[in-house]
């Protein structure tokens, strides 16, 4: 499907489709920005450091797998949240994406821990069943970035898991990762976070999963502050790291893009970060700025303000060339710093 046809179809459905060019050799590496209801300058240009010419993309960008990154503003209304997410997923499918990423808390964002627990569901509940049907209907994979899961120990603990669920195009659950690093922080100017009041930490990492876009390593939001996790996933074969998030309005401007680009550079992976945006209710707001970062550390796609989605092509040949030319994993010295998980003394 040509860009002009994509643009016309999107505009018929009330979307604005913008084409942003990355400045580097070769002259065309493409990212599409699709965000409804945005005020966007006439030309959106993402400036970037040029790739070395020896690592230029060899295949046509239109032949590369396309991924969609969805940005939403979840509320305590689960059905309205599903309606919003489903609309974006269907649009991603119409534009040719093979995999769509939804942010942390795509199902809902509650006002307090008690409401969080009341609205939570098991993996075999009604809501995940609706997403299973959606994946089958659209014929694409879904990264459901942070489902409030009542686990098998719900009756004993009365706490839930923050669960990243990966569905294939047939609607089957192919992987689940339960967030291992819980966000218990107090940032001046931002509402205190006490995720552990309602949530249990996951016991383990999930092995990277082969998808039509590449091998995906699963993480969630606060996990991005722990490079040990991203390095472990890369060493296990990940080519795409995903950090579905609900970043705050204070830490977002300071840390969001910096951390995502750092994780991409140090692991030489693509990083996909679907984010919550805007005011969820009177007690909470999120930063947004969903994005895709390539293994060179370049932001190749990003959403602006409001619900919407951005699209990016995943070039695994480029990833492999970069790892060959800059073989940092072969140069690591685990004999010097192998165990980095201990608290500061």
CA angle 125, 127, 132 (to 5 degrees): 95
279: β partners: 285
**Catalytic (active site) residue 104:** yes
Q: Are 313 and 57 within 8 A, CB to CB? A: no
Question: Which tokens in the block code for residue 21?
Answer: 């060019």
SS3 category, 143: strand
Q: Exposed/middle/buried for 301, CB within 10 Å: 0-12, 13-18, 19+?
A: buried
Catalytic-labelled residue, pool 179, 195, 206, 239: 179
Distance CA 280, CA 198 (A): 19
**Catalytic-residue membership of 179:** yes
197: nearest Cα among 322, 317, 112: 112
DSSP 54-119: GG---S-GGGS-EEEEEEB---S-HHHHHHHHHHHHHHHHHTT-SEEEE-TTSS---SSHHHHHHH
Name the catalytic one among 85, 138, 163, 221: 221
* Residues acting as catalytic residues: 104, 179, 221
């Amino acid at each position: 499907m040509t860009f002009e046809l994509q643009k016309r179809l999107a505009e018929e459905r009330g979307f604005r489709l913008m084409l942003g060019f990355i400045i580097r050799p070769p002259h065309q590496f493409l990212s599409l920005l699709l965000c409804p209801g945005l005020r966007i300058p006439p030309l959106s240009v993402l400036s970037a450091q040029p790739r070395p010419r020896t690592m230029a993309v060899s295949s046509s960008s239109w032949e590369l797998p396309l991924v969609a990154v969805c940005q939403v503003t979840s509320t305590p209304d689960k059905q309205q949240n599903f309606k919003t997410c489903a609309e974006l997923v269907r649009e991603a499918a119409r534009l040719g994406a093979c995999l769509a990423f939804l942010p942390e808390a795509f199902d809902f964002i509650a006002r307090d821990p008690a409401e969080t627990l009341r609205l939570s569901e098991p993996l075999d509940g009604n809501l995940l069943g609706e997403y299973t049907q959606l994946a089958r209907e659209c014929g694409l994979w879904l990264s459901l970035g942070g489902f409030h899961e009542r686990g098998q120990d719900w009756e004993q603990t009365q706490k839930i898991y923050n669960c990243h669920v990966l569905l294939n195009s047939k609607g089957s659950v192919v992987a689940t990762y339960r967030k291992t690093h819980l966000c218990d922080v107090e940032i001046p100017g931002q509402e205190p976070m006490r995720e552990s009041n309602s949530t249990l930490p996951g016991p383990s990492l999930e092995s990277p999963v082969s998808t039509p876009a590449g091998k995906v390593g699963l993480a969630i939001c606060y996990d991005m502050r722990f490079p040990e996790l991203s390095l472990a996933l890369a060493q296990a074969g990940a080519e795409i790291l995903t950090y579905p998030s609900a970043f705050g309005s204070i830490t977002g401007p300071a840390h969001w893009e910096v951390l995502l680009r750092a994780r991409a550079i140090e692991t030489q992976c693509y990083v996909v970060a679907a984010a919550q945006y805007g005011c969820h209710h009177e007690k909470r707001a999120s930063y947004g700025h969903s994005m895709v970062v390539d293994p060179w550390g370049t932001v190749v796609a990003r959403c602006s303000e409001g619900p919407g989605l951005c699209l990016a092509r995943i070039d695994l040949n480029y990833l492999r060339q970069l790892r060959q030319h800059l073989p940092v994993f072969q140069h690591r010295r685990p004999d010097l710093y192998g165990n980095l998980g201990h608290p500061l003394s």
